[in-house]
Amino acid sequence: METGSLNSESLNRIVGMSVRGGTGKKQGGVAGKVEPFVSQNEHNPRELRSWAKRTGFVSDYSGEAGTSGSAKFEAFERKGGGSSPKIEIDPVVGRTRRNEIETESRGGAPRAENGAVLDERGRKEERKVGLNGNANNGVVNREGNGHGASAVAPVNEEKEGEEGNGDVKVNVFPAEEEHRDGGWQGPLGLKCGLKENPGIVPLIYYGLQHYLSLAGSLVLIPLVMVPVMGGTDKDTASVISTILFLSGITTILHSYFGTRLPLVQGSSFVYLAPALVIINAQEYRNLTGHKFRHIMRELQGAIIVGSIFQSILGFSGLMSVLLRLINPIVVAPTVAAVGLAFFSYGFPQAGTCPEITIPQIALVLIFTLYLRGISIFGRHLFRIYAVPLSLTIIWIYASFLTAGGAYNYKGCNPNIPSSNILLDACRKHAYTMQHCRTDVSNALATAAWVRIPYPLQWGIPVFHFRTSIIMVIVALVASVDSVGTYRATSLQVNSRPPTPGVVSRGIALEGFCSILAGLWGSGTGSTTLTENIHTIDITKVASRKVVVVGAAFLILFSFIGKVGALLASIPQALAASVLCFMWALTAALGLSNLRYSQSTSFRNITIVGVSLFLGMSIPAYFQQYQAESSLILPSYLVPYAAASSGPFRSGIKQLDFAINALMSLNMVVTLLVSFLLDNTVPGRQEERGVFVWSRAEDISTDPSLLSEYSLPKKVARCCCCFNFKCLGV
């Protein structure tokens, strides 16, 4: 080690290996000699500070002048009378394994039954070495600090009168408490852990709270799709009710038979862009009679085929193999591209009514950023209910504008905006009236009080090769998105990362749930919502039972037709302004996966930058071939019409449509580029941030973790009979 600097490799040896002072022997296959940091009179303290800034090293510095973590560690070894600890840390999550902290006493000191060294008075001596493995606390972060460097917190010097021989207690997660049975409790910041049951009333409250925070993702997609498909307000209400029903059913299935993490399933933005591409196909542009049903049946058939592929990917175990190639450098830009893909739709649609959309965007940002720390009755209401609260306030404000005549124009009938096209004086106001007024929709008047969604409610699905190929690739993108969400959520609830078999099981079940979405006709597939990460972070509720209770309420609300009708009455411009925030949040959550890799690595930032740029630029090239559609479609829909007139020409119309459509999708191009570069450009595992998944034998030997991921007993026995070991059974 050079004088006046710290070697990151020496720091990395401390975590996940045995440290035995002065022996120089290998324990567990790794040498554990720790060299001290030696300061000089001419040493510039900024050198160490700059090294820490570059690598993300955060030391639990004691504040004592002239001491460092390495020096204190060496002092601890000297005071230990030759006794040095054997520290074994779980390589997956950085926790110490139960009953695996051992100490050897060279002087032959007596030991207690648990192996602790007894002092002269027969009392057990314990000292603490602050090895903090929590990524949030920033000291040792084998997977989450993004720099691949581990750090050792300094050891508090022993008080006078304490004996030197003794065990070392390793406090890896100071924000957590260990159960008596050897399991681990969730972070103290969580109000409700994964397996906790807070009681009937809290379950209902937390369940409704959980889904209200996800309201923007659950109900706003039909407000974008159905009007473009030529559907009526009643059709929009029916699709919203169907999505609520399917979200409840699929969430319950995933909670019991999927990964068993507290994840909400629903219509994802991943499927929205491909759906818009299919909706804007040339043969549907001039269709008048039953246009909505024709397009919905086409979407249903494509979703079913793509979902079957996703199920095969999971049930066959191929997903476990693919996991070796899916890492943060692939997940981050791909998920970010899902949100960034709608920049041409967001504000161009919201800008129709700036008097209500700009206040909406400003208010949701004020709630989420400026007022996030304000607590009312012990609840961070602004942070948790930012989207539904701001939407309600601006919706009421828009109603006052409508009632006050802000959107009344001379000679124009506000009740029938479509008829205003016939009058030259009203033509320029028709679009504004249709998208801004709160009394345009007749969904509340036409919807029934009770309506139960049922399979094939729009007719028999239609299957075509071109649309099926599109959805097969989109199902692969959705799987990559879900892998990142599984990983992040498992660390949020302080569980081990799932095994590859559990991930395969989750992907397989997502495919099955998307088949249900295709049969019922929601217009999109069902997948794990990326916003789950944000929801758990702001609500601090990660209980599986809370998610299930909330899903039951969704099913109940889906049977009440007026609920879907009320949500369908949201003005389209107002919905677009909320989606601007939701899409931006999706992009940010995608990029947050970079924290699992070395985010300052030139290799990584180059791959991410090139992937995002090409993921936006290549589709723009394909989207410029719009000669036939530029005069027919609104400007915000033109980018989704490239499939019918793109530059790829092979002579096979079905193949031409599929290739032009896929290359016009930002997330698909970004996935292809990042996947290729990350798996071909050389790089260390720590640099790439390779996901470390749990092993099946690790989970099977830990009772607390076994209950987190294992299937219900009867289902597990049934799967064992069919030898589904690839599903983590």
User: Which of 40-54, 63-77, 500-514, 523-537 has the highest mean predicted lDDT (pLDDT)?
Assistant: 500-514
- Determine contact, residues 327/690, Cβ cutoff 8 Å: yes
Q: d(Cα 473, Cα 270) in Å, to the nearest integer? A: 11
Q: Which of 58-67, 198-207, 357-366, 471-480 has the lowest mean pLDDT?
A: 58-67
Q: Does residue 125 form part of some domain?
A: no
Mean pLDDT of 440-461: 92
The token pair at 112 is 């207690």
pLDDT at residue 587 tops 50: yes
Q: How would you label 12-46 residue by residue, b for 16+ Cβ within 10 Å and e otherwise?
A: bbbbbbbbbbeeeeebeeebbebebbeeeeeeeee
What is the end-to-end Cα distance of the chain in Å, rounded? 47
17 occurs within a structural domain: no
Q: Tell me what pLDDT residue 517 has.
A: 96
Q: Confirm whether 412 is domain-assigned.
A: yes
How much is the average pLDDT of 41-55? 55
Structural domain boundaries enclosing 595: 200-694
Q: What was the pLDDT predicted at 400?
A: 94
Alpha-carbon span 383 to 327, nearest angstrom: 30
Tens digit of each residue's pLDDT (9 = 90 or more) over 590-600:
999 999 899 88
Residue 447 sits at the vertex; the CA angle it makes with 443 and 453, to the nearest 5 degrees, is 115
Q: Where are the alpha helices (DSSP H) in 493-627?
A: 500-520, 532-539, 544-558, 561-568, 572-591, 602-623
Q: At what angle do helices 544-558 and 233-257 cross, to 10 degrees?
A: 150
pLDDT at 350 over 60: yes
Which backbone phi and psi does 659 adopt, to 5 degrees? -65, -45
Q: What is the rounded distance in angstroms from the CA atom of residue 678 to the CA atom of residue 611?
A: 10
* pLDDT higher than threshold 80 for residue 507: yes
What number is the average pLDDT over the span 199-206?
90
Residue 510 located in a structural domain: yes
* Tens-digit pLDDT profile for residues 672-701: 999 999 999 999 988 998 888 887 777 667
Number of domain units in the chain: 1
User: Where residue 724 falls among pLDDT bands split at 50, 70, 90?
Assistant: low
pLDDT on residue 46: 53
Task: Examine the pLDDT at 722 and tell me if it is beyond 60.
Answer: no
Residue 581's identity, in one-letter code, is F
Q: Using CA atoms, how far apart are residues 315 and 561, in angstroms rounded to an integer?
A: 36
Q: Report the pLDDT averaged over residues 596-606.
A: 92
* pTM of full prediction above 0.85: no
Q: 493 lies in a domain?
A: yes
Percent of the chain with pLDDT over 70: 68
Tell me how far apart the alpha carbons of residues 172 and 96 are, in angstroms, rounded to a whole number.
Answer: 7
